[in-house]
A and B are shown apart, each in its own frame.
Chain A
Amino acid sequence: MPAAVWASGVAGPVGRGALLVGVVAAAFGAIAAITAARESARGEIPRTARLVPRFVGLSLLAALGAIVAMEWAMITRDFSLQYVQDHGSRSTPALYNFTAVWSALEGSILLWIFALALSAGLVAWRYRRRLDDQLITWAIAVICIVMVFFFILSFGPANPFAAGAPGVTDGPGPNPLLQNHILVLFHPPILYLGYVGFTVPFAFAIAALITGRVGEGWLLETRRWTLFAWGFLTVGIILGGWWSYEVLGWSGVWAWDPVENASLLPWLTGTAYIHSVLVQERRGMLRVWNLSLLLATFSLTILGTFLTRSGVLNSVHAFSESDIGSYLLVFFGIIVLVSLVLIGWRGDALRSPGAIDSPVSREGAFLANNVLFSVFAFIVLLGTVFPLVIEALQDRQISVAEPFFDRLSIPIGIAILALMCIAPVLPWRKASTELLRDRLFWPAWCGIGALVAGIVSGADGLAPLLAFALGGFSGGAALRQVVLATRRQGWRGLVGRANGGMIVHIGVILIAVALSASNAYTQSQELRLSVGTPATFAGHTFELVGFREEKDDRSTAVKALVSVDGGQAYAPAITKFLNMGMNVGTPSVKTTWRYDIYLTLEPPVKMDSGEARIKVFVKPLIMWLWIGGGLMAVGTILAAFPGRRRRRPTDPTSAPVPVGEGRVTT
């Protein structure tokens, strides 16, 4: 077969070549952009600026080439590559073979590079007419430098195109857990777009520090980039939870695993940033703080990648050990050092005049939000690295896991919910008690309503009831804003930052309430079912109808058919993957608006006995997690649309300064 001969072995050289082109193109892109920026700084016409988009475009092509080469190798089952030998197999179905490319470290870095090059390309295209502005060229230079790092990472220590042992004709395929749900197609790319997306605001922040234009200009440029990065990160995290729920069989969405924590850390600091940045836009304050949050967000994505991808932390998500750890650690160190030096260097320019009049104001609420989110991020980081520190210092192993995070995140979560009750109704500068009493009245009754509903439906325990009450209250406060805005402006009351933000709030509240309810009130029981003898649990009947065995050339699945409440049969399964020798359970879920019934088949299964051990979880309000996630995504998109009143260019970005013979700040 000449075609196959040609196909086999071509991906390796092509991919290596593409990565090498990527390293060079990104490096030249950085050099061209820096040269252009320096030309602009000297007041010359930046001649090299026109080269910048070409090099960025070439890097994008190289990144595309590398990932396409990997896909090609995977699709054509090119077993000359080590990566395909390890993670490909002839019997993997097409979809999971396609996603196998990012099922391990080396390939997932290719995906990361592609997402990064894509954002670099978007930035270069978006600002193609403003390349004489040194803020833009410096930002592109920073993105290119980050790109160079990742290209080198992939070309060197995490080489996905390394040649494998000769003569291999088949492989085990990706981890069985990564080949039984469609979400493996969406969760990693979307999450990576989120991680990588924060590179853009980071680059603009660095560019602002370098050029000294630390005013509010760069913030306005990056507002939407940040929002979209945050949105992708949010959706990526939620899809990860959904995947966990649908695949792993322990009926949960979040286990405080180090890799999950690594995605939560930048989300927390990013969330703090998109709130506190409003104070800067409006009042010109908190410049250092906002820069720090943004720099922290980007550094945390790198630190998280280091912690989880270098083998220093054990995690179910962690890929095999590799030596990329030292590279990532050095890169993290450089980022932190450069950020600190730049902030110190620009310290004077960053000092912003003005004062926040009262803690009971929108500014004050944003500050409180920032304290809560930063402390939350600190807790997550502490819990994640604490075992490492102890092991390094005392050479003994401890685990800091779910119970720790649960115990600390519940009070923080409740405090955040409480803040979400009051913050949306607060005006800028100062709020009076009468105003609060007036504006919070109906939202507070919503809280009472939610509390009563919780009590009536049998809820108990202080933490979940508080979550319901505050959820109702904060939901009321968010709805109040949306209702007032739509009454005033029609459909435009749904778009813009404040209004879209409230839709996001409603999504967050739904998730908070659903998580509290499902964590506190899950009922579970293991049932020994015999064919034809129904059993009852938590008001539902379960009847084993029979078994079904499904075989293909890579696996054997045994499904127990369980009829729930006399209706449709659900089929929790155990799949034996032949070439991995691994048994993977797959749950089956009946979803309703009020509760999910989650069934898993427990080993060992003896089909001829006519008996099965079925574990049943009845979990309230799970569907509202996904609805809340959807609302968060929709709200983020709405928030990215311009609101009705766009600021006129002559309007001051800060609040008007009273005129009088007062303190002079300059």
Chain B
Amino acid sequence: MSARFIDWIWHIKGSLTLAPGQSSDDAFERLRPLFREVGTTHERKGDTLVFRKKDQAAQDKMSVFDGGTLRIESGSGASVLHYHLTSRVLLLCFLAPLLFLGFAQMNLVLAKFDKPLAEELEKKNADKAEVPMHSIDKFLGAPAPEKKDEAKDKSKDKEKDKKKRLPTPGYVFAGIFAALYVVGRILEQRLVRSLFRKNLMEPQEPLLARA
């Protein structure tokens, strides 16, 4: 199977038409601030810019991406910016549901080794003991504590351990990450497109103001 059938999972591709008459030099100059972030290196060769990111800052507007290529294609009409970006976090988010499903399955397997609860309840049949309640709590109207039942307490402990080994949290987090992936794949594609568009279209500051 060719990688291009699955690479949409962590690759984001798109294109933007530049303003009429906008040169590739001007376009890359406007995009350059995006690649001056901490942990980002970039290299421009003609109409192509290649960048890499490592340990990118949380507030880096392109922090989701680890690398990519931006190419400007000049045609008879307006030039077009083609971008191809890769994101490891999108790939990991796509795979995360499998990990959490794995944890859920592991708990199902471990649950088979648990002793049956009913047997333990039969073994112990201690009398219920009164639990003291302080007079202040009686005066303030707090509910009386339940009577202490050794056998029930023991079974509750076992029940608590069993609950900790339920597959449910694994399923819930698998669902959460599946939803997060869908949201992230759509959101980040839109955000990066609008980021490029904003940088390419907005009027540049006068040189004096920048200095």
Q: Do A and B come from one complex?
A: no
Chain A interfacial positions (CB closer than 8 Å to B): none
